[in-house]
């Protein structure tokens, strides 16, 4: 019985079982991100981040848009960097809908 207890204890301490701490393996570079650094995308700013930047999403992937504002119908952004959980971008071209629905 002592051997079984030692096995459980070593399993927990070696970092691969319960109590092993945070495992970051699901966020590796092989995860295909829907955006690439240096490319431009048309997005809609749907939220404002805590630092005042606009937040857009492409296939659920978060993009922080510098100086992006909610209410801009379509924003063309250029992605500056892509991280494990989000990307950063800057506005290239913003268009807004007129009251008649036509783009300016």
**Domain total of the chain:** 1
- Write b or e for each residue in 64-78: b if 16 or more Cβ atoms lie within 10 A of its Cβ, otherwise e: bbeebeeebeebebe
Q: Say how far apart CA 81 and CA 68 lie, in whole Å.
A: 16
- The CATH number of residue 86's host domain is 2.40.50.140
Single pTM value for the model: 0.62
Q: Say how far apart CA 6 and CA 39 lie, in whole Å.
A: 53
- Other beta carbons within 10 angstroms of residue 43's beta carbon come to 23
**50 — phi, psi (to 5°)?**
-65, -20
User: Is residue 8 scored above 60 in pLDDT?
Assistant: no
Domain that holds residue 49: 27-95
- Classify residue 10: in a domain, yes or no: no
pLDDT in tens, 33-88: 999 999 999 999 999 999 999 999 999 999 999 989 898 778 999 999 999 999 99
How high is the pLDDT of residue 5? 46
- Classify residue 6: in a domain, yes or no: no
- Classify residue 65: in a domain, yes or no: yes
- Classify residue 63: in a domain, yes or no: yes
- Classify residue 38: in a domain, yes or no: yes
């Amino acid at each position: 019985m002592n051997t079984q207890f030692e096995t459980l204890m070593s399993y927990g301490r070696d970092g691969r079982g319960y109590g092993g701490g945070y495992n970051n393996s699901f966020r590796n570079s092989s995860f295909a991100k829907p955006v690439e650094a240096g490319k431009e995308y048309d997005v809609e700013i749907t939220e404002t981040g805590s630092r005042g930047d606009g937040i857009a999403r492409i296939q659920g992937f978060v993009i922080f848009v510098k100086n992006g504002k909610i209410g801009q119908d379509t924003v063309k952004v250029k992605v500056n960097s892509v991280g494990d959980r989000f990307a950063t971008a800057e506005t290239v071209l913003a268009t807004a809908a007129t009251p008649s629905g036509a783009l300016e």
